[in-house]
Amino acid sequence: MRALGLGGLIAVVLATGCPPEDAPFHGQEVSWRPCHDGEEDAAGGGADTEWLESLECGTVTVPLDHGEPRGRTLDIALVRAPADGPKEEHLGSLVVNPGGPGVSGVRALESPLFGDGIRAAFDLVSFDPRGVGKSGGFACGDRYALVDARQSVAGTDPGDLGAAELRPLADAARGYARACEERVGEEFLARVGTVNVARDLDVIRDALGEERLNFVGYSYGAWIGALYAHMYPENIRALVLDGAVATRMSNAEAAVDQVAAFQHTWEMFLADCVAEVDACPFTGADRGSGGPGAASEADARMAGLLERLDRDPARVEGIPVDGRTLLTMVGMALYQEGAWDHLAGVLTALAEGDDRGVERHLGRLYDDTFGQYAKAESGESEPGTGHQDAGAAYTAVRCADRADPEDVTAYRDAADEAADISPLFGPGPVWDQLPCAYWPGTEKAPTALTAPEAPPIVVVGTVGDPATPYHWVREAAERLETATLVTYEGAGHTVYGWGRSPCVDGAVDAYLLTGEVPRPGLTCPPAVT
């Protein structure tokens, strides 16, 4: 596997976070200014105007290469929602990362987060990690070529793909990787990974005037937090990792695990649909006896509904919705139990041939899925325009963080495994990782994260999480020596702070506010039963 050799200095940095006698980017002060004015807020449409007007923006400067602090620098964009409680009860800053990679923390904080107690006690702070949004966001390559190449083999069992069939996939992935290198340079791609985001986070902590960090990281943000605990354990007050990611596997292997998790959450949705919806189209269907490589009866019925939309697409917000688009919406709906009623409504109306019902429920499902994520993705552009593209950062960070195989057949084998696990969701998530086979050398992040010197850490996991499988979270909690695991027995991608589980919110709020660690083995009941 390729890795960037940066010599003995990097070994010191990995062990201690930054050179022990040289921290030239510490000592900064953030110059905060209002993020929004009244005119911008009015144009926001539906946004919480009072919340937006409270937001303050600023930047900190970090080195592109923390081992070469006199070289190129980056400005990291910050946003702050000042605490709204009494000053004497103020506990400092709580830094939040919403996940990704590729998601803007600055945009994520444009909606209120957490409950009243947390917002009263903490300044909420978020940031765009390097390579994202206003912190050097970029676009590169032709992602549509990757999609087209993937679609060209969509009807073929991955195990049956030979060299000729794999060549278009390899060519598209190689072309994308080369275009990214040409667009932003090998030096930038080598240092866009999470190990440098963790180093940036310590610069942010210092610039906020905090001796010790309070941090909540969701999904990819939990990876940032775990690395920070490994590198800067002495600089932590409270650390919450919701939806921790696996670190000891390639991107292709991780994608296989995620396909299995999506299938598991889909089956939880099916059970809920059958229990709660009188006309659920999956009532009486076997949901799991098909065995590896074979769709269950419920999946077969779902395939029929998708084919119906392929023949006669519906429309929502002026956009045609065929089977592939609906399946994307299904995957996004599995991220949040609150969207399940609308998903069940769409599928039931489809099965009944109720066109008006399909359009009505589809509009609501769109708001819950594509509509919700449109704001976070609003910086995305057409390839080659020079503007940011969340997909570019997603690929660049994932490829930078992990050691990946360089042979396309390894991805084919992983895709075959994914197709066996879930004929419905299939091998697509594995093919999405193929550019990593051709990525330039990067500084890989450490993976054996035990952080024995860190103060108590809280790890939150959801049994039916489709994106960060529960076993990843459980393993992270076991590996981090000071961690306590809180389990939410429902479904969806991350749970703390969204109001879905008062049990989870109460336990984590108490930890952040008082330092009280949740009792070991705490489990919280699902919102959807």
Separation in Å, CA 297 to CA 287, 308, 309, 483? 6, 17, 19, 41
Q: Within this chain, do residues 242 and 289 fall inside the same structural domain, yes or no?
A: no
Which has more pLDDT, 16 or 442?
A: 442
219 labelled catalytic:
yes
State whether 40 and 117 are in the same domain: yes
Report helix, strand or coil for 53.
helix
How far is Cα of residue 235 from the mean position of the Cα atoms in its chain?
Answer: 25
pLDDT at 148 over 70: yes
Q: How many residues does the chain have?
A: 529
- Coil, helix or strand for 81? strand
Q: Which of 374, 390, 423 lies at the terminal end of a domain, its last residue?
A: 374
Residues 354 and 465 in one domain: no
- 92 assigned to some structural domain: yes
Q: What are phi and psi of 133, to 5 degrees?
A: 55, -125
Both tokens of residue 254? 């991780």
Task: Tell me which of 95-99, 137-141, 438-442, 524-528 is least confident.
Answer: 524-528
Catalytic residue, chosen from 126, 219, 296, 501, is 219
Please indicate, yes or no, whether residues 200 and 70 belong to a single structural domain of this protein: yes
**293 and 231 belong to one structural domain:** no
Please work out, in degrees rounded to the nearest 5, the angle formed at the alpha carbon of residue 110 by the alpha carbons of 105 and 112: 105
Q: Out of 65, 465, 505, 509, which one is annotated catalytic? A: 465
pLDDT digits (tens, 9 = 90+) for 306-362: 999 999 999 888 889 999 999 999 999 999 999 999 999 999 999 999 999 999 999
Summarize pLDDT for 260-283 with one digit per residue, the tens: 999 999 999 999 999 999 999 999
Reported as a single tens digit per residue, the pLDDT across 15-73 is: 344 444 457 899 999 999 999 875 554 444 455 889 999 999 999 999 999 999 999 99
Query: Considering the chain, what percentage of its residues have pLDDT values greater than 90?
Result: 80
Element (H, E) at 464: strand 457-464
Residue 296 has pLDDT above 70, yes or no: yes
Which among 484, 493, 490, 513 has a CA at the least distance from the CA of 503? 490
What's residue 217's pLDDT? Answer: 98
Average pLDDT, the chain: 89
Residue spans of beta strands (DSSP E) within 251-409: 314-316, 319-321
Stretch 471-485: mean pLDDT: 97
In a domain, 480, yes or no: yes
Q: Reduce the DSSP state of residue 156 to 3 states and report it.
A: coil
| Overall average pLDDT of the 300-304 stretch | 94
Q: Which of 349, 374, 399 is the last residue of a domain?
A: 374
At 154-209, the pLDDT tens digits run 889 999 999 999 999 999 999 999 999 999 999 999 999 999 999 999 999 999 99
The H or E element that residue 242 is part of is strand 236-242
Same domain, 243 and 282: no
Structure-block tokens of residue 298: 């419920």
For residue 31, what are its two tokens? 């110059």
Q: Look at the chain and report how many structural domains it folds into.
A: 2
415 in a structural domain: no
Q: Is residue 221 part of a domain?
A: yes
Instruction: Inform me whether the pLDDT recorded for 375 exceeds 80.
Output: no
pLDDT at 445: 80
Q: Domain of 453?
A: 25-132+190-249+447-524
Same domain? 94 vs 196: yes
- Give the amino acid at 37: D
Predicted pLDDT at 292: 52
Report how far residue 421's alpha carbon sits from residue 257's, in angstroms, rounded to the nearest whole number: 9
In a domain, 406, yes or no: no
Residues 194 and 296 in one domain: no
Taking Cα atoms as reference points, which of 114, 100, 109, 101 lies closest to residue 127? Answer: 109
Structural contact between residues 422 and 263, judged by C-beta atoms closer than 8 angstroms: yes
- Distance from C-alpha of 196 to C-alpha of 4, rounded to nearest angstrom: 14
Final residue before a domain boundary, out of 321, 342, 374: 374
Shared domain for 29 and 103, answered yes or no, is: yes
Instruction: Provide the residue type at 431 as one letter.
Output: W
What is the predicted pLDDT for the residue at 370?
A: 78
Q: Note whether residue 81 is domain-resident.
A: yes
3-state secondary structure of 481: coil
How many whole angstroms separate alpha carbon 379 and alpha carbon 389?
A: 6
> Is the domain of 356 the same as that of 461?
no
Residue 429 domain flag: no
CA distance 529 to 515: 32
Ramachandran area for residue 469 (φ above 0: left; ψ -120 to 50: alpha; else beta): beta
CA distance 243 to 223: 9
- Is the same domain home to 227 and 108? yes
End-to-end CA distance of the chain: 46
The tokens 């919340």 sit on which residue? 51
Residue 159, domain member (yes or no): no
The answer to pTM > 0.85 is: yes
The values of phi and psi at residue 490, to 5°, are: -95, -150
Q: Are the C-beta atoms of residues 207 and 177 closer than 8 Å to each other?
A: no
- Known catalytic membership, residue 465: yes
Catalytic residue among 242, 342, 493, 509: 493
Region 79-99: mean pLDDT is 96
In this prediction, residue 39 carries a pLDDT of 53
Residue 230 has pLDDT above 60, yes or no: yes
Work out the pLDDT band at 517, boundaries 50, 70, 90. very high
230 catalytic? Reply is: no
CATH number at residue 210: 3.40.50.1820
Determine how many CB atoms are found less than 10 A away from the CB of residue 321.
Answer: 22
- Predicted local confidence at residue 383, as pLDDT: 30
Residues 212 and 289 in one domain: no
